[in-house]
Amino acid sequence: MTVRLLSVSFTVLFLSSCVPPGAAQISCRNEDGDAVDWFVFYKLPQNRKQKSERSRFEYMYLDTTMKSWQRSKSLVNMTQSVLGRTLEQLYEAWEAKNNSTAYLIYNDKVPHSMDYNWKQGHAKGFLLWDKSQGFWLIHSIPQFPPYPEEGYSYPSTGERYGQIGICITYNYSQFVEIDSQLLSCIPNVYSCFIPAIFHPELTYLPKMCAHSQLPRIPHRRLSRLQSIQGQNFFHFAKSPYFVDDIFVSWMAQQLQTSLLVETWQPKLPSNCSLSYHVYNIKRIRIPGQSPFSSYYDHAKWCVSQRYHRKHWTCIGDLNRSPFQTRRGGGFLCTQNKHIYLAFRSLILHYQNCNHS
């Protein structure tokens, strides 16, 4: 590396650590409230042997600064959790009614509501952004997060089973792509605010927020997204009009890798009918925990079967259920060694194709 290049990168580092206090940028946040490029959390299923209250709220955590899972310091129902810290920014923006900040919250299962709309995507997440940057968090927790007017809490519907989520901090330029990706997912938006300054650039999110008529929806859409620190992701977005198993017919073949898939109570068997195979995970082992059956895991994720065959990790919205082949939803995939090894090491047992 030349001296010139070194001095340039020092300058960049110096400038980026020079954000004045009070003008914190919108970002995914860790348990200390510090900005991170991305994080993944994995809430554990309730420990069925101990039956402890605490075990319903414990989670593991992974971000750019660590090589493998860390057990969280806080519980997922606390405002000091990564979800609490990250959502705090959204709740503050809501309170300020600041016309330069936008947010959108969607979930197929809305807090306090018994209604269910099968036409909306089987998708859960929330976004907060301004003209500089923001985050998009995708998760599996029903009836979460609470409406901004209620403040942070964790729903009882997310306690018993395992749950997962991924948060990524993006430059504003990426929200134009995210806008199109979410259109195909048809998210069920239950709380949002998208000020007029965004309307010229973002076509669909303001329409989804206003519940107005959507234009023609692409059957599926693949997009490359880059985090603010340069980690690359693919986002696979599937509409209800692409009626097929997203793992078998699209993700595995597109990424050219056989996948080991963890989803909630899968009804579709492992599938070896195409070039790249898809196998259902049956058992998970988390260090220092007794193993658990995928039956108790509401998380939705998959990894490449073998490290040297591409080491992809994906986290997203859909289960391997025949009903969900007819639903909208998506997956975020990345090729990161530490994320891959963290997930791959959890897999104790998966189902081959020859016996179902």
Answer whether the bond into residue 145 is a cis peptide, omega within 30°: yes
Q: Give the integer Cα–Cα distance in Å for 239 and 183.
A: 8
92-100, 135-143, 251-259, 305-313 -> range binding ligand NAG (CB under 6 A): 92-100
For the bound state, the minimum distance from the C-beta of residue 98 to ligand NAG, rounded and expressed in Å, comes to 4
Is 223 a binding residue for ligand NAG by CB under 6 A? The answer is: no
Q: Could you confirm whether 298 is annotated as catalytic?
A: yes
Looking up tokens 């040297």 gives: 308
Is 352 a binding residue for ligand NAG by CB under 6 A? The answer is: no
Task: Copy the structure tokens of residue 285.
Answer: 């082992």
- CB nearer ligand NAG, residue 148 or residue 343: 148
Is 249 a binding residue for ligand NAG by CB under 6 A? The answer is: yes
Task: Count the neighbouring beta carbons within 10 Å of the beta carbon of residue 222.
Answer: 16
Is 248 a binding residue for ligand NAG by CB under 6 A? The answer is: yes
Query: Letter for the amino acid at 152?
Result: Y
Backbone angles phi, psi at 107, to 5 degrees: -165, 140
Is 273 a binding residue for ligand NAG by CB under 6 A? The answer is: yes
- CB nearer ligand NAG, residue 100 or residue 117: 100
Q: Among residues 50, 65, 68, 98, which is the contact residue for ligand NAG, using CB under 6 A?
A: 98
Is 231 a binding residue for ligand NAG by CB under 6 A? The answer is: no
For the bound state, the minimum distance from the C-beta of residue 277 to ligand NAG, rounded and expressed in Å, comes to 9
Is 92 a binding residue for ligand NAG by CB under 6 A? The answer is: no
Q: Among residues 30, 86, 101, 334, which is the contact residue for ligand NAG, using CB under 6 A?
A: 101
Looking up tokens 């990345």 gives: 334
Q: Give the integer Cα–Cα distance in Å for 141 and 154.
A: 9
Is 99 a binding residue for ligand NAG by CB under 6 A? The answer is: yes
The residue from 139, 235, 277, 298 that is catalytic is: 298
Q: Count of residues for the chain?
A: 356
Q: Among residues 47, 70, 78, 253, which is the contact residue for ligand NAG, using CB under 6 A?
A: 78
63-71, 84-92, 136-144, 269-277 -> range binding ligand NAG (CB under 6 A): 269-277
Is 214 a binding residue for ligand NAG by CB under 6 A? The answer is: no
Is 54 a binding residue for ligand NAG by CB under 6 A? The answer is: yes
Q: Among residues 19, 24, 96, 210, which is the contact residue for ligand NAG, using CB under 6 A?
A: 96
- CB nearer ligand NAG, residue 82 or residue 248: 248
Q: Among residues 70, 77, 157, 335, which is the contact residue for ligand NAG, using CB under 6 A?
A: 77
CA distances from 9 to 13, 17, 24 (A): 6, 12, 22
80-88, 267-275, 311-319, 330-338 -> range binding ligand NAG (CB under 6 A): 267-275
Q: Which residues contact 314 (CB under 8 A, 6 or more apart)?
A: 236, 251, 259, 301, 302, 303, 331, 332, 333, 334
Q: Among residues 63, 179, 245, 317, which is the contact residue for ligand NAG, using CB under 6 A?
A: 245
Is 244 a binding residue for ligand NAG by CB under 6 A? The answer is: yes
Which residues of the shown chain bind ligand NAG in the complex (CB under 6 A)? 53-54, 57, 75, 77-78, 96-101, 130, 171-173, 244-245, 248-249, 269, 271, 273
Indicate which residues carry an active-site annotation. 298
